[in-house]
């Protein structure tokens, strides 16, 4: 159980079978940093070109196709005092007739709001933009990883703008500190990538961003041999959950629900009828994102209604 | 502010401009009953044919097209000890390839699970079905109205299987006790219908039912003159919310989000840029139903982040 | 086989169980007229309020739930020299980001183009609009019925803006002269409605209209006892086809395809494997409309690849 | 204008920035071969692993990001006497409730039908499968390229199972012999890939395959400097067309329609109002595929209604 301190020197805007940046063992912990979606780091400087640049990939020894990689996000700490968000709900999120009435910014420079991020106070405060009377606005911090994943199958290199069975840009605010994510392994070593930190984000990432910021990150990896998963999963103190990434949202729901049914059957000893009855009255869904090329829907079941694993 | 005790003698399986069952004044309270989705009442007897039969309609004096009708669900109390649910997740909610592997019931009689509903304990308990090892399962009660609405525009009579701008079969578990629903008024008197009580339901109504049961109901109506709404809204102690009813879920999100933007602009004094910034980081979405002909997505904003109305 | 000459005096903007306008026998022919989508008749005068007003309903003696009604459109003749269309592709048909760049008309009056309709020459000619350099444009006439249907089940009255299993506003350019439409019968007498003539229309009705015009209509009805259909069908000299009405288009395809599979199995003696192999390599799809509340997709199979019925 | 005879030795199942297999000049012609979707060549032997293996990539000198690559499919000739298709309509193409009733094959070996392909007679003949009474079935040949494209932007390597702005697995039967395809160029040299030949295919590729076969191929490339396209386009004797690749079909329609509007404006001198009026009454849509991860819709306009380019 080594703790690796890793300083990234290269970033990727695809998730794929890139040369490993670091080789770690099953159970190891990595302490590293991520730049924001625009490629800006802790100092605010441009470290790498924009487009959700990823730190990694991390090769996890022992991980093979057919296994599942568990990654616990031990710490997700904004490492600079300012984040940014876009200011307009994306046109695909409102009625088509409503689109011309959106507050289109006069130019790209006016498209962004700046937020002060205070780790000690655990708050995110809007710095009063000139073009609205909303004034200041202080919200509770909720650090989360917008984009992370493992190398996909078949030699693909998938843009960090989108997501799939390998994870990717799911932009789900439930992938926060203390959460364990599970990812199907497609290639030897899994090749875990991470980046695109948000100090806060609403459901759906409907303005196309959270409060985008660079992070100090600590995560721990674990290989679950022989556990076949097909879509990203997750777990926190209260819930287990699955992620479906697709368009339209209906299809994302189908993937997440099917994956949850498989999980309940395989790991909780629930037969099909039992799992269906339970989910019918207990299931919850979260809208991860409705902005990226693939949308994300989350299917959740509270652990208090589940038998022991 | 009269309290009317109304005993229904006729039920409707469409929401339309039917002859008023009772005329009430703005501010009045109605105490009445609803049958379950199959048309069975407090005694368990078949009172009326199945298909989400509605109690009402209630003509609210003063309500005119262009107004909004507010209906507060004061009390929603299951009035018999047993409810029922379907036992299989609907085929449209799982991956198409997964459909043949669903636990299809051998016959319609085997399609249902029975639940004991205990108002005093505030629990709903599964009565051990023979075809699963899940055994008993006790869940907290969460009474909600599956279907309610006002007469739609243009002389339509819309099946209580589906929903639209007039409300209808939204099957959203957030329309529970203490909640105020808001509905656009399309005809004089609004013509409010109510029925299809659930003692509990998961997100999405993915088995096609909640725990279906007959209710003792008390609700209070209020006419908001000149308030133009386009889609159903709601409010509880913590949130304001809007409902979009359509397929696919993406379009339901578009309606709900557009309606929320209108609401924030009109009632909370937020300019467009301010409303968008706020929603981007604070909005939440619930999946009402992904089973009925029109799906329902809910757009929510916590009142603690909103200026005073 | 009587030929009825029927002059409408009342029109409906819902398709429902309205009082029959005329009672006809199985095999009878009706000669009548329809107003345009705005309610204007042969003289151009406003005959009835707008919203796809329907002529009818026609009660067909002998038609009962579980039967199919066949309606052959013997003649569809524009009965005035001018039609109109909208001039802008609807916002839901283009990319959301493209919507603000559509040529939004300055006011409703500027939203329409006028077309000269010449039955003798079989042409439709755009009358040069002031706001474009396109000049004149002459296209071949292709008269079709935008909206027709039978009374739906369960006492519903469904707006003529939309469509469903009962038919309705399918806006499919394949429902033209000489075509036989098939509709499932839900109520005694079927109650056939017809209106919303187009002298021409592109696929998808993407500007929200065809060349809208009033018609002289002749149609012949036939009751097919015991033929269970679930969605509208049709037949011309070359093809049999089925219509699925839903959103998104994907679901419309699912309905149309499933209905075609049922048809091939029931009427053409094709077993399932044979029908699937055939459809895989021969099927064609048309986009009826992508504008109305329910979209329409058409599934077609050429008769030359089919065994005898 | 050199004619290159190229014999492939390596195949790719992603479309990406692979090392060029051959460098050609603007205007050159290539004569080569493609294997079928399973990786089997002219002799029927397994030449390379399955998954739509691509011949190429071909580096076209002078092609730069911001240009458009035109590829004319001069000849597409099946080069062996047998092709194969799957025998069951895919579950996502029928109603979810209908899925269990599909003719699921007992095992993978029984999933395929074999067709005799006769270039001289220009026919494709089903070899009587044992599990259906359909007997023989002879259909006209219609050779087409299922999958072709150029290297996508941002270093992506996209699976040949799917499609996007770079082309890919569009499975549109209109990309046949004599057609010119247009593709946006994202990388220097464009890097054109081609494969997945079908001797015939219905609309939508609803069984997941056409009649899959290896091809002798001849194509000619041309670089159109400075022509910005965003989605694949095409042209034959009668039509110009655009392809939108996405899910659901609605979004594919949006891309294809927006691209056509851009094309009409840029190349045909039509102002926006004129282009919209014209498309409203003349547009046609084809369903490319409704099987692959991204669906394909085609937007077509007949050249006879267009001004000179």
pLDDT tens, position by position, D47-71: 999 999 999 999 999 999 999 999 9
A173 and A286 within one domain: no
Question: Which of D254, D281, D286 is opposite residue C139, by nearest beta carbon?
Answer: D281
B90, B92, B104 ranked by CB distance to D100: nearest: B104
Cβ pairs B/D, distance under 8 A: 20
The C-alpha of D161 sits at a distance from chain B's nearest C-alpha, in angstroms, of 17
Residue A296 and residue A209 share a domain: no
The beta-carbon neighbor of B158 closest among C156, C247, C248 is C156
- Same domain for C285 and C157: no
Find all residues with CB under 8 Å of D261, minimum gap 6, and list them. C89, C94, C98, D272, D275, D276, D279
User: What pLDDT, in 10s, does the model give residues A73-104?
Assistant: 999 999 999 999 999 999 999 999 999 999 99
What six digits make up the tokens of B95?
Answer: 């991956």
3-state helix, strand, coil in chain D (%, to 5): 15, 40, 45
pLDDT for residue C71:
98
SS3 assignment for A125-190: EECCCCCCCCCCEEEECCCEEEEEEECCCCCCEEECCCEECCEECCCCCCCECCCEEEEECCCCCC
| Mean pLDDT of the B154-170 span | 98
> How close does chain B come to C159, measured CA to CA in Å?
6
Q: What's the pLDDT score for residue C282?
A: 97
Bridge-based pairing state of the strands C3-5 and C29-34: parallel
Chain D residues interacting with chain A (CB cutoff of 8 angstroms): 13-14, 16, 51, 154-159, 246-248, 251
Q: Is residue C300 located within the same domain as residue C255? A: yes
- Structure tokens of C40? 């204007």
Q: Quick one: A262 and A281 in the same domain?
A: yes
Domain-located, residue B127: no
Assess if residue D97 is contained within a domain. no
Q: Which of C189, C224, C259 is the last residue of a domain?
A: C224
Across B171-199, average pLDDT: 98
ipTM above 0.95, yes or no: yes
Q: What was the pLDDT predicted at C252? A: 98
C163 plus C282 within the same structural domain: no
Asked if D99 lies within 8 A of B91 by C-beta distance, the reply is yes
Q: How far is A20 from chain D (nearest CA, A)?
A: 17
Indicate the helix (H) or strand (E) that contains B192: strand B192-198
The answer to the question of residue D51 being in a domain is yes
Residue B235: pLDDT band (50, 70, 90) is very high
Residues of B with Cβ-Cβ distance to A132 under 8 angstroms: 271-274, 277
B110 φ/ψ angles, rounded to the nearest 5 degrees = -90, 5
**Partners of chain B (3+ Cβ pairs below 8 A):** A, C, D
Domain co-membership, A175 together with A301? no
Q: Which chain B residues contact residue C16 at CB under 8 A? A: 157
B239, B207: one domain: no
User: What pLDDT is recorded for position A185?
Assistant: 98
* Chain A CB contacts of B286 below 8 Å: 285
Domain annotation covers residue D217: yes
Which residues in chain B are contacts of A103 at CB distance < 8 A? 272-273, 276
CATH number at residue D162: 2.60.120.580
Residues composing chain D: 309
CB atoms within 10 A of CB D127: 12
Q: What is the pLDDT of residues A202-236, one digit of tens each?
A: 999 999 999 999 999 999 999 999 999 999 999 99
Q: Is residue D181 part of a domain?
A: yes
Q: What is the mean pLDDT of residues C219-223?
A: 98
Minimal Cα–Cα distance from B188 to chain A, Å?
28
Are C163 and C125 part of one and the same domain? no
Chain C residue numbers touching A249 (CB-CB < 8 A): none
Do C66 and C174 share a domain, yes or no?
Answer: yes
Question: Would you call C145 helix, strand, or coil by DSSP?
Answer: strand
CB-based contact B281 A85, cutoff 8 Å = yes
> C272 in a domain, yes or no?
yes
- Does residue C101 sit within a domain? no
Q: Using one digit for the tens of pLDDT, what is the confidence trace for B54-81?
A: 999 999 999 999 999 999 999 999 999 9
Among A205, A231, A218, which residue's Cα sits nearest to residue A177? A218
User: Of the candidates D91, D104, D248, which has its C-beta nearest B96's C-beta?
Assistant: D91
Q: What is the pLDDT of residues C143-162, one digit of tens each?
A: 999 999 999 999 999 999 99
Pair (C153, C219) in one structural domain = yes
Q: Please say which residue of B164, B197, B224 terminates a domain.
A: B224
What is residue B103's predicted lDDT score, i.e. its pLDDT? 97
- Of B224, B243, B262, the residue that ends a domain is B224
Mean pLDDT over each residue of chain B, to the nearest integer: 97
Choose from B10, B156, B255 for mutation: most chain C CBs within 10 A. B156
Mean pLDDT value across residues B190-205 = 98
- Mark whether A212 and A244 lie in a shared domain: no
Q: Is the pLDDT of residue B130 over 90?
A: no
pLDDT per position as a tens digit, A44-57: 999 999 999 999 99
pLDDT at B1: 85
What number is the average pLDDT over the span A246-257? 98
For D138-154, the pLDDT digits (tens) are: 999 999 999 999 999 99
Does the pLDDT at position B308 exceed 90? no
Share of chain A above pLDDT 90, in %: 95
The residue among B223, B224, B227, B197 whose CA lies nearest residue B212 is B197
Residue A47: which domain range? 3-81+142-224
Report the CATH number that the domain containing residue B251 is assigned in CATH. Answer: 3.10.28.20
Mean pLDDT of chain D: 97
Number of domains in chain B: 2
Q: Using pLDDT thresholds of 50, 70 and 90, give the confidence band for residue D260.
A: very high
**CB-closest option in A124, A129, A276 to B273:** A129
Interior angle at CA B205, CA B204 and CA B208, nearest 5: 140
Contact A271, B132 (CB under 8 A): yes
- If you average pLDDT over residues C70-74, what whole number do you get? 98
- Compute, in degrees rounded to 10, the torsion defined by CA atoms C103, C107, C108, C110: -60
With an 8 Å Cβ cutoff, the interface of chain A facing chain C consists of 90-92, 96-97, 99-100, 104, 248
Instruction: Please check whether residue A285 lies inside any domain of the structure.
Output: yes
For A130-158, how does the pLDDT look when each residue is reduced to its tens digit (9 = 90+)? 899 898 899 999 999 999 999 999 999 99
């Amino acid at each position: 159980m080594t703790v690796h301190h890793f300083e990234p020197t290269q970033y990727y805007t695809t998730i794929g079978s890139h040369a490993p940046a670091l080789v770690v063992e099953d159970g190891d912990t990595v302490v590293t940093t991520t730049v924001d979606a625009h490629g800006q780091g802790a100092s605010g400087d441009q470290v790498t070109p924009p487009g959700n640049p990823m730190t990694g990939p991390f090769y996890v020894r022992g991980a093979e196709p057919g296994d599942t990689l568990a990654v616990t996000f031990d710490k997700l700490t904004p490492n600079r005092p300012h984040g940014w968000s876009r200011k307009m709900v994306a046109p695909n999120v409102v009625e088509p007739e409503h689109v011309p009435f959106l507050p289109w910014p006069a130019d790209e420079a006016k498209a962004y709001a700046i937020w002060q991020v205070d780790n000690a106070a655990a708050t995110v405060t809007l710095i009063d933009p000139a073009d609205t009377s909303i004034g200041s606005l202080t919200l509770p911090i909720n650090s989360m990883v917008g984009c992370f994943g493992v190398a996909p199958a078949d030699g693909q290199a998938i843009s960090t703008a989108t997501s799939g069975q390998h994870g990717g840009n799911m932009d789900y605010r439930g992938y926060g500190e203390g959460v364990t994510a599970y990812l199907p392994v497609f290639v030897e070593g899994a090749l875990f990538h991470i980046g695109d930190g948000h100090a806060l984000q609403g459901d759906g990432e409907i303005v196309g961003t959270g409060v985008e910021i660079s992070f100090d990150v600590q995560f721990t990896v674990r290989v679950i041999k022989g556990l076949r998963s097909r879509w990203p999963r997750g777990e926190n103190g209260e819930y287990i959950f699955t992620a479906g990434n697709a368009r339209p949202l209906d299809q994302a729901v189908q993937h997440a629900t099917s994956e949850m049914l498989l999980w309940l059957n395989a790991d909780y000893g629930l037969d099909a009828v039992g799992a269906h009855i339970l989910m019918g009255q207990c299931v919850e869904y979260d809208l991860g994102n409705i902005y990226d090329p693939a949308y994300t829907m989350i299917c959740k079941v509270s652990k208090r209604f589940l038998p022991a694993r």
